[in-house]
Amino acid sequence: MIVDVQRRGRILVIAMQRPEKRNAVNRELAVALSEAFDTLDDDDELWVGVLTGTPDVFSAGTDLSGGADATTERGGEYGLIRRQRRKPLIAAVEGPAFGGGFEIALACDMVVASTTARFALPESRRGLIPSSGALFRAIRALPLHVAKQLMITGAELTAERAQDLGVVNEVTPPGAALDAAIALAEDVCLSSPVAVQAILAGVAAQLEPADAAGWAATSDAVDKVMSSADLQEGIDAFFGRRPPEWTGR
């Protein structure tokens, strides 16, 4: 079972279960996640979703050895990143949320993180760019200079720092992020689901032009790195477990 899905009343809890790969997303995991999000979106008895990983890691993002096609028609990257969601989704983060894992959290509506959580966008250290929404969602969620630092240096944020900057809603002790996220989801369920969904739709409608521009800029940036020698060097260095030797070409 690569994704564990549990109903808790009006709440759907979705847990990535690929710990041997640090919950890195391949095609199989993306499809399973997309099916779970389809259930959340389409079942009127469900009002809120909670997305989590395993006890030690949220997600390392794309599986570089098998995640090139980790997209779905309805959800885009990871079955989530481009999804037009109707219902709130809360990320419950334990351990690293790196690269695409951080982008998954940024695609959620709220984030609960334990003190073990760490957030980073280290793609530039591999000759890549954040291509699953962070190029525009990070500068929306974080101060501009902090977002730039994360993306061009691979620096990490602790849960506490991420909360101070407004990315994380609540910080918990280790192992308590999921319970706190479920409690937050239960709090959301005290509100009218019609009102909640109307609010999310209203916010999304205002962001649509900026999102379109963000995806266009992301596509341009991807095109630039895809034709570079640095990209192949970064991937070779990653699999060779060695520092890359950049040429700037």
- pLDDT, tens digit (0-9, with 9 covering 90-100), for 120-155: 999 999 999 999 999 999 999 999 999 999 999 999
| DSSP, res 8 | E
Q: Is residue 180, in this structure, part of any structural domain at all?
A: no
Per-residue pLDDT, 235: 85
Per annotation, catalytic residue among 77, 94, 103, 170: 103
Which pLDDT value is given to residue 67? 63
Domain boundaries, position 8: 1-174+192-249
Asked, for residue 148, whether it belongs to a domain, the answer is: yes
Within a domain: 186: no
Decide the pairing of beta strands 11-16 and 3-8. Answer: antiparallel
Is 233 designated active site?
A: no
Q: Where are the beta strands (DSSP E) in the chain?
A: 3-8, 11-16, 48-52, 71-72, 76-77, 89-93, 96-98, 110-114, 118-120, 156-158, 170-172
Q: Is 156 a catalytic residue?
A: no
Distance CA 2, CA 244 (A): 32
* pLDDT the model gives residue 214: 98
Q: CA nearest 81: which of 135, 5, 28, 142?
A: 135
Output the pLDDT for position 66.
74
**128: burial class by Cβ within 10 Å (0-12, 13-18, 19+)?**
buried
SS3 104: helix
Note whether 63 and 70 are within 8 A (CB). Answer: yes
Query: Cα separation of 108 and 95, whole Å?
Result: 17
User: Residue 17 falls within a domain, yes or no?
Assistant: yes
Q: Total domain count for the chain? A: 1
Contact between 142 and 165 under an 8 Å Cβ cutoff? The reply is yes
SS3 at position 171? strand
Would you state the structure tokens that stand for residue 31, as one six-digit string? Answer: 């499809």
Alpha-carbon distance of 198 to 205, in angstroms, equals 10
In a domain, 182, yes or no: no
Give the residue ranges of the chain where pLDDT is below 70.
67
**169-189, pLDDT tens digit by residue?**
999 999 999 999 999 999 999
Report the CATH number at residue 24: 3.90.226.10
- Select from 230, 92, 61, 239 the least CA-distant residue to 171: 92
- The CA-atom distances, in angstroms, between 129 and each of 99, 175, 208, 209 are 9, 31, 22, 22
Please check whether residue 38 lies inside any domain of the structure.
Answer: yes
As a whole number of angstroms, the distance between CA 186 and CA 9 comes to: 9
105 and 58 Cβ atoms separated by less than 8 Å: yes
User: Is residue 102 one of the residues assigned to a domain?
Assistant: yes
- What pLDDT score was predicted for residue 29? 97
104 is a domain residue: yes
